[in-house]
Structure 1
């Protein structure tokens, strides 16, 4: 009986996601105000019995945007969903990192929006760690980024996964920046474990922002590399952040040893 109840609940949630997607399409077509959309969405998810913030909705929304519906209003919807805790920000960042970073050269506007979301939400860890569904969210992040496989640490608690997540995001930004500057191949590894190499895609088939290979796009790519490096610096400078704390302790140890 318990198995049947679980199956029925899963089927009900599946139907709920179809309804949510239909609602999102209507809101997109009408150019609905993002705040109003978020209020209506929250009400719909509550009626469907979906616990918020919802890892499942994060996957649904990111998959919907990338790349058939890569339009400005949906990025605004996404930002609002993160702000009001409908979707867990760290998981959304993890999902976007696997989709956006590999196509950053052909979709520089999306890469810029990804970094803006990263800057806005990745430094507010405390509010997210204290939130509901925290353990479920961290498990989803672990699965999306394959952190268990990449780091192979014995400890798999939620705190460890968050540290691994932040480390992986910074590492990914660094590798992407090195690759964009043409010097990733000069590193000992000569490649990245995070799949930052640009993917070959047909530019003419892109929709959404209708990005074209223009001088303006080249400037945006250059600005994106600069922003990525600035973000890395922010992570290292923020002592309240896992990366900043690690950097601070490392610098302190070096100073004690007389390092420069």
Structure 2
């Protein structure tokens, strides 16, 4: 009886398991929420060489803070721990990295930013992933229901809603954990694009109108001045000619009569 029961229900159980796997495999991957702005809390663990170290050996350095993505290439990180650098704010503007703590500030041009900076690497890695997803990259199924992105030394884990939860980089060697993720609007764009698009609209019409008005005013003023001058000049000439003519006639007539 037991054997008959197993013969009947075993194929059903196996078929149910196969169909369940097929549904999971065919489920579309979530869209990663990295194409716009967002805020989150992050904890970064990185290997760093302490300043002044003679051995050159890396030590583990952990810091946490509030991370904001304002747009592609525009970032802000306010560090909350460790306490020695709490309150330090680091921003990235199209590759230029700036840091400030109280009244102290420091700026680095893109070509001077250390490539092993964990903060710069964090910003760049997420921007690179966002660009890859815009160009067609997709997440793959991972363990425990998560979704994974792996490429170019980046390994990131996303949840079922497309929210990034962790990140690991091969170079520089570092990991990051993300919590309290919230999407925001993109409020900053690349300066070259915004300035280029706004300059013709703001500058060219004003310059053109000033030039047109400036050139029109002298032309309007010069025409009546010329007309007035010519009329005033011609009228005195005509009057003097008429006055001289009678004087010539009066002088000639008496001379003829005396002869």
TM over 0.5: same fold?
A: no
Instruction: Indicate the structure (1 or 2) with the bigger Cα radius of gyration.
Output: 2
- The structure carrying a bigger strand percent of its residues is 2
**So what's the TM-score if we normalise by structure 1?**
0.21
**So what's the TM-score if we normalise by structure 2?**
0.22
